[in-house]
Copies of this chain bind each other. A is one copy, B any other.
Amino acid sequence: MKYSKQREQILNIINNSYDHPTAYMIYEKVRKDIPNISLGTVYRNLNSLCTNKQIRRLAIPNDNDRFDKINNHFHLYCVSCHNVIDLNNGLLLEFDKIIKDNFDFEVLSNDLVFSGICHDCKEGKEEKLWN
């Protein structure tokens, strides 16, 4: 893989933020520095970065994919405010081992997303699905 400033920027944005951006959100951020970057380039780089395990893709029911740093491994997705919250929990390693022992299945990525209602949404308002 050859260097490109577009890819470097995209990687930087993901590594320096905590907001689990979608492809389009990343596109909007990169455009501040590289105004004429194209959305296709963002998608191409997100895919190659995922393939090379430099970032990860979160698949979320009824929402677009989000992209994230490699080192966080556990997520809460609030179906009300659509925020994604990071968790780090040693239990995951235990999970991998249990799965390995019981099913001879080698876990490659722990892109786990628990969907539910976060604290703030529970406080502030009633549940609003698919607002």
Q: Say yes or no: A104-B116 contact (C-beta < 8 A), given A59-B59, A61-B111, A62-B57.
A: no
Counted per complex, copies of this chain come to: 2
Q: Are B104 and A119 within 8 A (Cβ)?
A: yes
Q: How far is the CB of A109 from chain B (nearest CB, A)?
A: 5
Q: Closest residue to A76 on the B side, CB-wise?
A: B105
Q: How many residues of A contact B (CB 8 A)?
A: 40
Residues A91 and B85 in contact, CB atoms below 8 Å apart: no
Q: How far is the CB of A58 from chain B (nearest CB, A)?
A: 7
Q: Are B95 and A119 in contact (CB under 8 A)?
A: no
Name 24 interchain pairs, CB-CB below 8 A, sorted by A.
A50-B62, A51-B130, A57-B61, A58-B61, A59-B61, A59-B113, A61-B111, A76-B99, A76-B103, A76-B105, A85-B105, A87-B99, A91-B98, A95-B114, A96-B114, A103-B119, A104-B122, A105-B118, A106-B122, A107-B116, A108-B116, A109-B115, A112-B112, A112-B114
Q: Which residues of A contact B (CB under 8 A)?
A: 50-51, 57-62, 65, 76, 78-79, 85, 87, 89, 91, 95-96, 98-99, 103-119, 122, 129-130
